[in-house]
Amino acid sequence: MGYEEGEFWHGIALKVLYEGSKTVYKKDPVYGNVPAIERSAVFRRSIGEPKGQIADWRCTFPGDPRSVHAVEYIDRYEIHVDKFDPSKHPLKHVVYDAPSVGLFILPLTIIAALFLARKRF
C-alpha cells in the first residue's frame, strides 16, 4: 500500500460518512490525481447491484453499522453511504439499501421453502 493511496481513500471515506451524500471522483489516466482504490488497504472488494461497473468496494469502521460503498467505473468512482453494511447486517442491508435485490430474492426464498416443505410430505 502506498501511503498516499491509503490517506486519500481514508479521507474520502470519512468525508462521505460525515456529509452523507453521494460523491463522484473522476479517474485521471494522464496525471493520476485519484489514486487506485485497490492499493489503499482502506476499501475491500465487494459486490453490488449490476450497473455497468467494473468493481465494487466497501469501507467500514468499527462500531458503525454503515459502510461506505464505492462503485468503480472505467472513468470514475461513485461513492455513497449504505445505512447498513452487508457483512454486519445482511438482511437490513437488503431491506434498506438494496430493496430491488430483496424483491428478487424474496420470491425465490419462498419458492425454495415451499419446494422443500412439499418434499417432506
- 111-119 long-range contacts (CB < 8 A, ≥24 apart) are none
Read off the C-alpha cell for 67: 459502510
- Whether 59 and 8 have beta carbons less than 8 Å apart is answered as no
- Whether 85 and 60 have beta carbons less than 8 Å apart is answered as yes
- Whether 59 and 43 have beta carbons less than 8 Å apart is answered as yes
What whole-number distance in Å separates Cα of residue 54 and Cα of residue 73? 5
> Phi, psi at residue 64, to the nearest 5°?
-110, 125
What whole-number distance in Å separates Cα of residue 118 and Cα of residue 121? 6
Instruction: Give the H or E element holding residue 16.
Output: helix 3-19
Q: Which pLDDT score is estimated for 79?
A: 96
Q: Which pLDDT score is estimated for 4?
A: 77
- Which residues of the chain carry a pLDDT beneath 70? 1-3, 99-110, 119-121
Torsion (CA) 70, 46, 40, 26 in degrees, nearest 10 = -30
Q: Which pLDDT score is estimated for 69?
A: 96
